[in-house]
Amino acid sequence: MKNPNTFWNWFNENHQLLKNYQQLEHKEALFSKLQINLNNYGNNLSFVLTGPSVKKSKYQLIITTNGNKNLILYAANLISKAPKFPGWKFTASIKPTQNLDKIVSRNDSLYEFQNLKIKISDLYFLPANYCPITQKFNVTVYLTEYWKHTEKLLQQAVSIMLEDRLGEHLAHSKINRLTLEQYPKNTNLIPAYEMAFYFENFNIND
């Protein structure tokens, strides 16, 4: 297992910048360096950075394994070696988001991925090709202004948001293939916040 101190040394030098990332002109470069240093410790690890809210007074850095069970120990070890930084909380993996009422009323938190700003309440989905053996679906997520951003950025952003809403276990145990498309007009799509309910209550005989 790689030494986590290198990552935390970099974080120590940059945590004040990360606290003020919304005011930075080149915050994408800072996020890119954070991801590079994280990958130097454990390839395929990802992160979510959130700011203080009414209920949470600290900034939070969440390390996610993207559903890869082989990385769980890497993520846990990294968090266990974290120094104490005033105003920061560090967490490994992502548990399901519980503030469903805020999402339904479209008052949920805004995610920022480089130049992409988006909410879970902005996402809609349609499931297809259910496999009774794996119990997984192919899922298409629809979002507005799809054409403005690169496919790589959108895939990473939506994957992290779904993990945040569903929890990593449910997201990766139920989604076989994730595709993204531009939000169409006049369709009966399912809000993404209902995805967990759909997965947990799906009956192939209905």
| Residue pLDDT, tens place only, 35-48 | 999 999 988 888 88
Q: Higher-confidence residue: 53 or 149?
A: 149
Q: Across the chain, what does the average pLDDT equal?
A: 83
Percent of the chain clearing pLDDT 90 (strictly above): 21
pLDDT at 49 over 70: yes
Are 64 and 48 within 8 A, CB to CB? Answer: yes
Look at residue 98 in the predicted model and tell me its pLDDT: 59
Residue whose C-alpha is closest to residue 168's, from 116, 77, 104, 94: 94
β-pairing, 59-64 vs 46-50, is antiparallel
What whole-number distance in Å separates Cα of residue 183 and Cα of residue 143?
5
Average of per-residue pLDDT across 24-29:
80
In the numeric block, the tokens 């053996």 are attached to: 133
* Structure confidence by residue, pLDDT tens digits, 112-126: 776 778 888 899 999
**Domain range annotation of the chain:** 5-92, 120-201
Q: What is the CA radius of gyration of the chain?
A: 18
pLDDT score for 114 = 66
Q: Is the pLDDT of residue 139 over 90?
A: yes
d(CA 31, CA 183): 27
- pLDDT band for position 55 (cuts 50, 70, 90): low
- Half-sphere exposure of residue 51, counting CA atoms within 13 Å on the CB side? 12
Mean pLDDT is lowest, of 17-26, 53-62, 153-162, for 53-62
pLDDT band at 206 (very low <50, low <70, confident <90, very high): low
Given pLDDT bands bounded at 50, 70 and 90, which one contains residue 154?
Answer: confident
Contact between 110 and 42 (Cβ < 8 Å): no
